[in-house]
Chains A and B, each alone.
Chain A
Amino acid sequence: MVTNVTNLSRSGLYDWMAQRVSAVVLAAYVLFLLGYVIAHPGMGYADWHGLFSNQAMRIFSLLTLVSLSVHAWVGMWTISTDYLTSMAVGKWATAVRFLFQAACGIAMFAFFVWGVQILWGI
Chain B
Amino acid sequence: MHLPTTLPCNFGALSVIKKAVNSQRPVNLDLRTIKLPITAYTSILHRISGVILFVGIAVLLYALDKSLASEEGFAEVKECLTSPLAKFVIWALLSALLYHLVAGVRHIIMDMGIGESLEGGALGSKIVLAVAAVMILLLGVWIW
Give, as a whole number of angstroms, the nearest-CB distance from A116 to chain B. 11
The answer to whether A118 and B65 touch (CB under 8 A), given A45-B71, A111-B57, is yes
B25 within 8 A of A: yes
* Interface size, chain B (Cβ < 8 Å): 28
Give, as a whole number of angstroms, the nearest-CB distance from A108 to chain B. 8
The answer to whether A20 and B108 touch (CB under 8 A), given A52-B68, A118-B65, is yes
User: Is the contact region of chain A dominated by helix, strand, or loop, or is it mixed?
Assistant: helix
Residues of A within 8 A of B107 (CB): 20, 23
Chain A 83-122 near chain B by CB (<8 Å), digits 1 or 0: 0010100000000000000001001100100110110011
Q: Which residue of A24, A30, A121 is within 8 Å of B97 (Cβ)?
A: A30
Residues of A within 8 A of B58 (CB): 111
Closest B residue by C-beta to A61: B64
B47 within 8 A of A: yes
CA distance A1 to B25 in the complex (A): 7
Residues of B within 8 A of A49 (CB): 68, 74
Residues of A within 8 A of B69 (CB): 121-122
Would B57 and A68 count as touching, CB distance under 8 A? yes
Residues of A within 8 A of B25 (CB): 2
B39 within 8 A of A: no
B104 within 8 A of A: yes
Would A79 and B68 count as touching, CB distance under 8 A? no
A-B contact pairs, 5 of them (CB 8 A): A23-B104, A30-B101, A75-B54, A121-B68, A121-B69
Interface on A for B, CB 8 Å cutoff?
1-3, 20, 23-24, 27, 30, 38, 44-45, 48-49, 52, 68, 72, 75-76, 79, 85, 87, 104, 107-108, 111, 114-115, 117-118, 121-122
